[in-house]
Amino acid sequence: MWRLKIADGGNDPYIFSTNNFVGRQIWEFDPDYGTPKERAKVEAARENFWKNQFRVKPSSDLLWKGMGGENLWNDPSDMYIDFGVLGNITGFEEYEETITTPREGEDPNNTPNEKDMQPFCYSLTELPVDFDICLYNYCQEDLYYPHPLVQDILWASLHKVFEPILGHWPGNKLREKALCTVMQHVHYEDENTRYICIGPVNKVLNMLCCWIEDPNSEAFKLHIPRIFYYLWIAEDGMKMQGYNGSQLWDTCFAVQAIISANLGEEYGLTLRKAHQFIKNSQLHVAIEV
């Protein structure tokens, strides 16, 4: 079954760290991991989520709680009943439904596998793609709010008029120079974040840019193992996080709560450990003088 690995860099030569992988957490599938009893409880949690998915759409993160030794592992249905009392306060019902609702005829208890859950970018890099068409058809489709007419005219002008000009000399020289500058910024961010990037959206975009630049480049190879930083497993299946974890934020909030409650003396050891974790989690950048 899936297991959570914490602060473990593994043996991948394309993964490196300046703080001994403090805070790193990734899920890894191990067919031999867990006792038969634990596996049965995981399957029970999945089945319970499947039965209640239209009533309570968010998961309760039972696999993570089980890995942390919290006795998930009591009756999974109890956690859903308690969570259901909160009512419909989520803002991602449609998103959750698209990734948790099996296709007709599928077994809802099947363990997610890597082939079915490959990130969009990783799949895209294995296919022949007309990127000009992709950019025009998808990058302009910003539907967070209605487009004014002027914006639509601008997009159409860029595609119908300026795009052909920039595709031929001398316009292509300007375009080539601009793309080189963009890639410099992409590589700068990749190197400073150890190819994790600042979030899953630009992680995918940066990785795709590196692949377009050179599919066999060292930069693209360094991107691949960092994909797993954004993948998370729960009883509702595999999903992508909004960041590579909230460990640092959670620690800071816990420290603030302890200090605000004047419990510093009682939790002195905890605060010392938290301070060391916060210190080790800071971004280390080598500055040349």
Q: What is the pLDDT along the chain (289 residues), one digit of tens a residue?
A: 888 888 888 888 998 888 889 888 899 988 888 889 888 988 999 999 999 989 888 888 888 887 655 454 444 443 333 322 222 223 323 333 333 344 444 444 443 333 333 333 444 445 454 545 444 454 557 555 677 899 889 989 988 998 888 888 888 999 899 999 999 999 999 998 899 999 999 999 999 999 999 999 999 999 999 999 999 999 999 999 988 888 899 999 999 999 999 999 999 999 999 999 999 888 655 444 3
Short-list 193, 267, 187, CA closest to 219: 187
Q: Say which amino acid occupies 221.
A: K
- Hey, which bits of the chain come out as E strands? 2-6, 25-29, 231-234, 237-240
Asked whether the beta carbons of 211 and 129 are under 8 A apart, the reply is no
The rounded distance, in Å, linking the Cα atoms of 147 and 141 is 9
Q: Say which amino acid occupies 143.
A: L
pTM for this predicted structure: 0.69
Q: Tokens 């867990």 sit at which residue?
A: 34
Q: Say which amino acid occupies 69.
A: G
Asked whether the beta carbons of 121 and 207 are under 8 A apart, the reply is yes
Cis peptide before 119 (omega within 30 of 0): no
- Beta strand pairing status for 231-234 and 237-240? antiparallel
